[in-house]
């Protein structure tokens, strides 16, 4: 087990306090701290003993990954662990499937688009299913809301302009939202502004009266919040179709490739396939490519974006329909021990307290450790109440 120095990403939506306070650093930080990457993605590899984790793995992939993982995923670490701290909403976005990512990456390479170009959509040939586990209250938009609920929400808003588009909802209460979403996100400037303003008035009235179901009031509040941050942005219309989710610490959400989402606020641990592919549809000053977003979107609805957890190894393991990563969360009391005994690589992230190894290794909160496959059967002990995440394959 070796210390893993995370790579900081100072995106504008990041918090000046959440990661700094977790790590015991001066707060507020001078720049936004949006994400701290603990992984081997070439865009921002973490470092181990001063060397990029990607290079450390490339130097001896068999020892780093183990035969099972190497046979299944090649010579690269198949997952990426992050601390994510949102002080403002992230873009409305989705991520491609593995097949879409490979095609898009090859296409943009053939077109000569540089990897660091702001107009680049595909930074790598990998998919990006992702899990977010809340460390503080964490708010998100996650997947298309079931059609009957969206129809009821539109009716409760009572916006005449929105009612015209509500006719594009599937009439049987099932089916996908392709027709409505693509229409809304493609509106010309003037009708878009008129629709946004009409819904803004209706949402403000719904919030003031508070005589609608609580989830509708919350959805209206989020719409108003987003429009205040990004006035007139088409992304606020997309938000009308999405589940509003608030996670308590320890709760999680999982999103498959192609599911539209946007994180709104809070601190969490994010684990995903090893990718930086993002297709954006609004709520951002970054590159937006609506046609490409529509190509990768899954337009089916998502009734429950929450990820369930089951007891495992003395903690809980989140139940995920992917083979590129697995995630366990452990709450430890003083003196409790935890064995990290894998036949593949692991990244350990301490999010509360402190844990120690038998060789004097110390891991404090907000910091990570790398456990290559060749160092199986590592054991750590909690010094006081602690919390650790273990990400494996």
What DSSP string runs through 359-374?
A: TS-EEETTEEEEE-GG
**Closest among 144, 143, 89, 97 to 122, alpha carbons compared:** 97
User: Could you give the CA distance from residue 147 to residue 149 in angstroms, rounded to a whole number?
Assistant: 5
User: Could you give the CA distance from residue 94 to residue 96 in angstroms, rounded to a whole number?
Assistant: 7
What is the Cα gyration radius of the chain?
A: 22
Q: Which residues make Cβ contacts (< 8 Å) with residue 157, sequence separation at least 6?
A: 199, 202, 203, 206, 220
Judge whether 354 is annotated as a binding position.
no
Judge whether 205 is annotated as a binding position.
no
Judge whether 95 is annotated as a binding position.
yes
Burial readout 93-112 (b: 16 or more C-beta within 10 A, e: otherwise): bbbbbbebbbebbeebeeee
102 φψ region: left (φ > 0), alpha (ψ -120 to 50), beta (else): alpha
Judge whether 261 is annotated as a binding position.
yes
User: Could you give the CA distance from residue 98 to residue 102 in angstroms, rounded to a whole number?
Assistant: 6
**Closest among 309, 316, 326, 328 to 390, alpha carbons compared:** 328
Element (H, E) at 193: helix 189-209
Beta bridge pairs of residue 369: 3, 348
Residue 67: burial class (beta carbons within 10 Å; 0-12, 13-18, 19+): exposed
Angle between helices 214-229 and 147-157 (to 10 degrees): 70
Q: First vs last Cα of the chain: how many Å apart? A: 17
Q: Which residues make Cβ contacts (< 8 Å) with residue 156, sequence separation at least 6?
A: 206, 212, 216
Q: Which residues make Cβ contacts (< 8 Å) with residue 231, sequence separation at least 6?
A: none
Q: Which residue of the set 145, 256, 280, 328 is catalytic?
A: 280
**Assigned token pair, 224:** 């108003």
Active site residue 280: yes
Catalytic annotation, residues? 280
Which residues does the annotation place in the binding site for Zn(2+)?
A: 93, 95, 130, 261
């Amino acid at each position: 087990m070796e210390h893993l120095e995370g790579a900081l990403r100072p995106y504008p939506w990041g918090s000046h306090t959440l990661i700094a306070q977790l790590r015991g650093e001066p707060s507020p930080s001078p720049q936004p701290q949006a994400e701290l990457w603990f992984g081997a993605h070439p865009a921002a590899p973490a470092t181990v003993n001063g060397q990029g984790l990607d290079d450390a793995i490339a130097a001896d992939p068999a020892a780093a990954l183990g035969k099972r993982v190497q046979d299944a995923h090649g010579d690269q670490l198949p997952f990426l662990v992050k601390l994510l701290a949102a002080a403002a909403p992230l873009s409305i976005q989705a991520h491609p499937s593995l097949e879409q990512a490979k095609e898009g990456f090859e296409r943009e390479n053939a077109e000569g688009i540089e990897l660091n170009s702001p107009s680049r959509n595909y930074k790598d040939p990998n998919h990006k299913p992702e899990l977010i586990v809340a460390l503080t209250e964490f708010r998100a938009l996650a997947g298309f809301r079931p059609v009957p609920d969206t129809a009821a929400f539109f009716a409760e808003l009572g916006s005449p302009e929105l009612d015209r588009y509500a006719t594009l909802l599937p009439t049987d209460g099932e089916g996908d939202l392709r027709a409505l979403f693509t229409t809304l996100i493609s509106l010309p400037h003037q009708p878009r502004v008129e629709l946004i303003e009409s819904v803004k008035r209706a949402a403000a009235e719904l919030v003031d009266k508070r005589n609608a179901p609580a989830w509708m009031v919350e959805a209206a509040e989020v719409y108003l919040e987003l429009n205040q941050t990004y006035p007139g942005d088409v992304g606020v219309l997309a938000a009308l179709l999405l589940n509003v989710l608030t996670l308590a610490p320890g709760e999680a959400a999982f999103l498959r490739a192609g599911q539209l989402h946007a994180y709104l606020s809070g601190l969490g641990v994010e684990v995903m396939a090893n990718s930086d592919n993002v297709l954006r549809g609004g709520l951002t000053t970054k590159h937006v490519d609506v046609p490409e977003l529509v190509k990768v979107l899954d337009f089916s609805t998502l009734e429950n974006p929450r990820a369930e957890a089951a007891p495992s190894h003395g903690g809980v393991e989140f139940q995920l329909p992917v083979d590129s990563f697995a995630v366990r969360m452990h709450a430890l009391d003083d003196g409790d021990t935890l064995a990290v005994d894998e036949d593949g690589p692991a990244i350990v992230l301490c999010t509360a307290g402190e844990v120690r190894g038998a060789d004097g290794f110390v891991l404090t909160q907000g910091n990570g450790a790398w456990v290559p496959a060749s160092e199986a059967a590592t054991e750590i002990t909690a010094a006081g109440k602690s919390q650790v995440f273990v990400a494996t394959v």
